[in-house]
Amino acid sequence: MAPPLVLLQDIHLRFGVQPLLDGAELSVSAGERLCFVGRNGSGKSTLLKVAAGLIEPDSGTRFVQPGTTVRYLPQEPDFSGYATTLAYVEAGMGPGDQEYRAQYLLDQLGLTGREDPSNLSGGEARRAALARVIAPEPDVLMLDEPTNHLDLPAIEWLEAELKSLRSALVIISHDRRFLENLSRATLWIDRGTTRRLEQGFTAFEGWRDQVLEQEETERHKLDRKIVAELDWLRYGVTARRKRNVRRLGELHSMRKDRREERRVQGNVAITVTEAQTSGKLVIEAKRIAKAYDDVPVVNEFSTRILRGDRIGIVGPNGAGKTTLLKMLTGELQPDSGSVRLGTNLEVASLDQKRAALRPETTLRDALTGGGSDTVLVGGQPKHVMGYLKDFLFTPEQANSPLSVLSGGERGRLMLARALALPANVLVLDEPTNDLDLETLDLLQEMVADFPGTVILVSHDRDFLDRTVTSVIAAEGNGVFNEYAGGYADMVNQRGRGVEAKARLDDGKAESRSSAKATAAAPKEAKRRLSFHEKHALQTLPKTLDKLRAENAKLEERLADPNLYARDPAAFEKASTAHAKVLADIDAAEEEWLRLEILREELGG
């Protein structure tokens, strides 16, 4: 086996009374693909910072092979002192690194390099930080929640880029699909210690369950031995005093072990307060549209959502997902078209930005509204301490301000607030943000068992595949289409995944192909449009109209819920034709855009 590039041995670290790391170990060799898993608060990020040399443990040793380059992606990067994103990325490169990679990666991640770091959104900050740590192609790349704030196209691009690197990867992420696609070994951080599985995340959950079952068996054996020793003490203590003292000492030792044993942290007790049953029709939208500054965000979208449906909305950042969600739920009025809401609707919402949480508010007041020890769950009072315990908060945290909560704890609190309300419609905007894998499991079960209707926006492919019955996907230019099944089903029908939203460069759209052609042949910049190009500009709009009409017919045919059961061959034929038509529409739109840009550059 190759010698480790980074090695941690017997790491101990204590925050307050409770030890966070209690003899943790880590070994990273060249080219390894290792993921960290564990509950929120188990010490994953702390151990990664120890490995990166950012935190000094109370005891234990850290060894880094001389000459090894290590790069660490924090959850909250520091941009202070940098005028542009390009300067920030270039500052992370060392002598001998290929300088062009800084601008190349920024381009790939949808940034120009000229952005002011102080004005970046969460997603833009994450992209710039990723470019900084990936550009040098280090020996060891440590990533703490790299998919946070990224949309689906960026996540899938990042997967492909990381697969192509020769760097050893150490990854913390709540995105199951991301871990399954990248990891080849798993480090489980549990109750301060580490266990390693020489398989990727796909095998982790079955292995973890076996370990916990074995622990439960051993605990049961210890309980039985304690009972047997107590019985012996009661009835056999009169003879052989020396042996009695020894056995009594052994009993005390076993009891001490039992008391001090660090149990597995409990699971979140997620339940949804059910409201009265809604009508069969929940939402009916007819040709709804919304535009801002004459730019279409939603363009003539129609759908019918019935009681019990679980709808996922996907698309790149800025594609209009949240706008569509707000129009469907009546929070935002469309510019044209109509939305009809069903009867007896009671909606509970989860805001992706956690906007309803004030930093100075305590956990107790966030749930009760202040001045009370009870929270109404389904119209019934429940003591706030009991409800906090259901979501893995301790009594000591009840009076703590929200500003000290981790991202995962804030996510659990927002779930607690939303799910306490009686509801027959759940509206979840990025509900998986910052949740650990176990809480995600329970949230998935809750969504699957919820008797009402669920509408959710998510970039988590695995969560979508496990929960939704249909997916509404952003196609570009405000167009949304609905596909039966989860995310993987959508990809199969559509022929591709979610694609990145086209960027504007200096306020003017420019295709990469035309830019390369111009750079390669500058003398052709003043040429005229050819006859074929002029003819294509005139005919492509009509071609697009025909393709869109054909697409509408195919979608209407595929919308028949009985088509597959009645005629599987016809369903398969229609699905294949639908995917081809969508590809033809994309190709025609790209060709028209290329020619229109060329026409403008040549002065008409």
- Known binding residues for ATP are 38-45, 315-322
Apex 85 CA angle, 120 and 52, nearest 5:
95
What is the β-pairing status of strands 59-64 and 6-14?
antiparallel
Cα-flanking dihedrals φ and ψ of residue 21, to 5°? -120, 130
**Whose structure tokens read 């050819």?**
530
8-state DSSP, 588: H
Extract the annotated binding site: 38-45, 315-322
Which of these, 509, 485, 483, 488, lies nearest to 589 by C-alpha position?
509
What does R_g of the chain's alpha carbons equal in angstroms? Answer: 29
Cβ count within 10 A of residue 353: 12
Q: In Å, how far are 291, 352, 356, 398 from 413, measured between CA atoms?
A: 34, 12, 11, 11
Helical residues (DSSP H) of 437-502, grouped into ranges: 437-449, 461-467, 487-494
**Whose structure tokens read 């309300």?**
421
What is the β-pairing status of strands 185-190 and 336-341?
unpaired
Largest CA distance in the chain: 112
Apex 549 CA angle, 547 and 551, nearest 5:
70
**Token code pair at residue 513:** 């192909």
**Neighbouring-strand partners of residue 429:** 457
Q: In Å, how far are 132, 134, 135, 405, 455 from 97, measured between CA atoms?
A: 12, 11, 8, 39, 46
**Whose structure tokens read 């409201």?**
275
- Ranges assigned E (strand) in 156-280: 168-172, 185-190, 193-197
Handedness of CA 147, 152, 156, 158 (dihedral sign): negative
Cβ–Cβ < 8 Å for 307, 361: no
Cβ count within 10 A of residue 523: 6
**Whose structure tokens read 């809480």?**
439
- CA dist 326 and 424 (Å) reads 17
Cβ count within 10 A of residue 591: 16
Which of these, 586, 589, 560, lies nearest to 574 by C-alpha position?
560
**Neighbouring-strand partners of residue 341:** 283
Q: Which run of H or of E encompasses 262? A: none
